[in-house]
Structure 1
Amino acid sequence: MSLFQITENTFRSARNSTFYFASGPSRGTPIIFVHGWPELALSWRHQLPVFGALGFRAIAPDLRGHGRSSLYSTHDAYAQREIVADMIELLDSLGKEKAIWVGHDWGASVVWNIASHHPDRCLAAANLCVPYATLERGLDVLVGLVNRDLYPQSEYPFGNWEYQRFYEEHFAKATGAMEANVAGTFKALFRAGNPDGKCKPAPLSQTRRDGGWFGGKGTAPNVPRDERVITENDLHAYASAYERTSFFGTDSLYMNHAANARYASEALNDGYLDMPVLFLEAAYDYTCDCVNSPLTEPMKKLCRDLAIERIESGHWMAQEKPVEVNARLGQWLGARIPQAWGG
């Protein structure tokens, strides 16, 4: 088998069924890529063949409620505690004690929780866009890190996280707007970063004042696909998957802030991370704004072996700037855990 080949696999336990892509030799050190909202294992299509070819066992699962993994009908099934348990079971199924974990968006929260609750299963952790000790600790923590010069309390009580509060207030309306035109939703969401958005309120901060997603119109606008992020085939894959599963599972990630905060409070080592950590911040991610807000400050205090690098990208970093992401990740792995290189 060529190391560049990506295979399709499914692991089933008594709790859950997890579909995943894999590349590279089975004997290689596992590097597990965890996607976020509203994504799929497909989101790591640019990383899997590269790290598989380098000799790692590169894995990208569909999280529960996404793609070809198990679907559940209640919000609490999508709490971080459950998703982390899925990932530990997946690692067990590979016959490995430890992995390098890489996450993006809500996948970053999963990886941070693995690192803080199961450090013995973690060789190293790398995350994109969402820093440690933020999203996985609940909405109240996020709001406490808002840049109030840009988001005055009187106008934006939840700051750049207004859209997250909208889910809690109007879940069916939020989900319905995404499902009204699924392909349109992905074309509207998957856009490259725009430097012109600097020092302006993020579009998602308007969600509550607009009365919903997409300016409160109830459906995504008809915008051209951004080829810098996804191809036509990619778009079809995302749209067909979500037309089948709906957005319930992925949107339910936002419905567990209180439960997630309780889970985060159980972190070992007082929440400190001792393993090597890489954080890739996006210069043009205005929702997860790590440039003009104190969002990374808790991480800087709690990670004892931390490297932070900035990429000129929007939020969908692994898809928009795959060469840069792969290079930074590969360089860091070579420098910090050379013993894991090539198995």
Structure 2
Amino acid sequence: MPEMRNSTVTEHSIRSGDHVTFYLAAGPRDGPLIIFIHGWPELALSWRHVLPRFGGLGFRAIAPDMRGYGRSTVYDRHDAYAQRHVAADMIALLDALDGEKAVWVGHDWGSATAWSIASHHPERCFAVASLCVPYRTIERGTDHLVSLVDREIYPEADAPSGQWAYMRFYHERFQRATAVHDADPRRTIKALFRRGKPDALGKPSPHVQIFANNGWFGGGDIAPDVDRDPAVVSEQDLCAYAESLGRNGFYGLNSYYMNDADNLAYSDESADGGRLTMPVLFIAGRYDITCESVESRLADPMRESCEDLTFETVESGHWMAQEKPDRVNAILTKWLADKVPSAWPREMNQARP
């Protein structure tokens, strides 16, 4: 195998109309594109352990700040964060990179965008991968998610929305939810970015209490001042998250949850009824109790809609690429080698037996 190279991460931005997308990049400019899409409430920085790996392999590895985040354009309307607009940003980014196709990798709301690109623009995809969030779930809205709730853990009489009650809370009490997040972004990130807990399996998510508590974090007006979890985020990275969120606020981030009707309509416009024929990788977080996909029915629609699905599991919580980056890198690399050889860098293809 050739020596890894070009793994330095650099900063860039592109403009499409009035919209600016900031992005991080690693690897040779002429390498095949692999684009990593972060979720809530992260940044391109969330892929800091992944970009150098794939850049070093000879890919052009890209991680954008999504709209509303970091140094990309921030909007003051909920409807600006519908998936049709977010996916369009990514196609504009691909065009600006002079790319015909890319491998798309998403996490959390970034998964919704990666799935949207695969289902609406299959001709722009070598393949698609997702961490934690299966296909045909979050991008189809809260009602659809609730239909897949594990009623053994969340009896309907006690928890009608199951672990997705926090999404309903945004719909009904958006200002309250956002005010608590904005009260101290540094404390919010520390409270959210925690490693997975094996003993949480089979137990209800704390999200079920969000209405009873009138908000996140047990109902306080500010996130608790807990110790930083070094398994997920360093002090330097925490400062970067806090600075960005303190500057932009949580309005745009939380607005991703406010477009159920439009997102469902957009999903219904998918090519070929939403069936994916390209190689698909899904990596479940074993201890991600909100997006639990190993024992629940959450991944069933994905299994029914993908012709070439690889399903892997990592012993992590929700922040998988930050908590278990070596395992994520290994799974992605093997999958690309096995399933997407046409997207490998030329030098790597020549070196393979």
TM-score normalised by structure 1 residue count:
0.99
Q: Does 1:295 align with 2:275?
A: no
Q: Does 1:79 align with 2:71?
A: no
Q: Which residue number in structure 1 is paired with residue 262 of structure 2? A: 259
Q: Which residue number in structure 1 is paired with residue 349 of structure 2? A: none
1:67-216 correspondence to structure 2 within 5 Å: 67-216=70-219
Write the distance in 2 (CA, Å) between the matches of 1:293 and 1:209. Answer: 25
Choose from 233, 239, 243 the match for 2:242.
239
Write the distance in 2 (CA, Å) between the matches of 1:15 and 1:79. Answer: 17
RMSD, aligned α-carbons: 0.8
Write the distance in 2 (CA, Å) between the matches of 1:98 and 1:340. Answer: 9
> What code does the residue aligned with 2:105 have?
V
Per-residue deviation, 1:4? 1.5
Give CA deviations for 1:247-277 in whole Å, capped at 9, x if unaligned: 0111000000111001000000111000000
Per-residue deviation, 1:339? 2.2
3-state SS of 1:17 partner: strand
Choose from 47, 54, 79 the match for 2:50.
47
3-state SS of 1:127 partner: strand
Write the distance in 2 (CA, Å) between the matches of 1:52 and 1:191. Answer: 27
Write the distance in 2 (CA, Å) between the matches of 1:58 and 1:19. Answer: 14
Choose from 327, 330, 339 the match for 2:330.
327
Write the distance in 1 (CA, Å) between the matches of 2:292 and 2:210. Answer: 17
- Where does structure 2 lack aligned partners over 5 or more consecutive residues? 347-353
Write the distance in 1 (CA, Å) between the matches of 2:253 and 2:340. Answer: 33
Choose from 2, 5, 13 the match for 1:10.
13
3-state SS of 1:10 partner: strand
Per-residue deviation, 1:157? 1.3
> What code does the residue aligned with 2:33 have?
P
3-state SS of 2:69 partner: coil
Per-residue deviation, 1:15? 4.0
Q: Does 1:22 align with 2:30?
A: no
3-state SS of 1:304 partner: strand
3-state SS of 2:21 partner: strand
- Where does structure 1 lack aligned partners over 5 or more consecutive residues? none
> What code does the residue aligned with 2:11 have?
E
Q: 1:216 to 1:142 in 2, by over 3 A?
A: same
Choose from 32, 37, 41 the match for 2:35.
32
Give CA deviations for 1:84-103 in whole Å, capped at 9, x if unaligned: 00000000001111000000
> What code does the residue aligned with 1:117 have?
H
3-state SS of 1:274 partner: strand
Q: Which residue number in structure 1 is paired with residue 341 of structure 2? A: 338
3-state SS of 1:281 partner: strand
Write the distance in 1 (CA, Å) between the matches of 2:284 and 2:115. Answer: 15
Per-residue deviation, 1:292? 3.0
Write the distance in 1 (CA, Å) between the matches of 2:106 and 2:211. Answer: 28
Per-residue deviation, 1:181? 1.4
- The number of equivalent residue pairs is 342
Q: Which residue number in structure 1 is paired with residue 317 of structure 2? A: 314
Percentage of matched positions with identical amino acids: 56
Write the distance in 1 (CA, Å) between the matches of 2:340 and 2:181. Answer: 41
Per-residue deviation, 1:205? 2.2
Give CA deviations for 1:33-78 in whole Å, capped at 9, x if unaligned: 0000000000000000000000000000000000000010000000
Write the distance in 2 (CA, Å) between the matches of 1:18 and 1:175. Answer: 24
Write the distance in 1 (CA, Å) between the matches of 2:208 and 2:31. Answer: 43
Give CA deviations for 1:192-231 in whole Å, capped at 9, x if unaligned: 0000101110122221221111111121001100000000
3-state SS of 2:277 partner: coil
TM-score normalised by structure 2 residue count:
0.96
Choose from 209, 215, 220 the match for 2:223.
220
Write the distance in 2 (CA, Å) between the matches of 1:233 and 1:12. Answer: 29
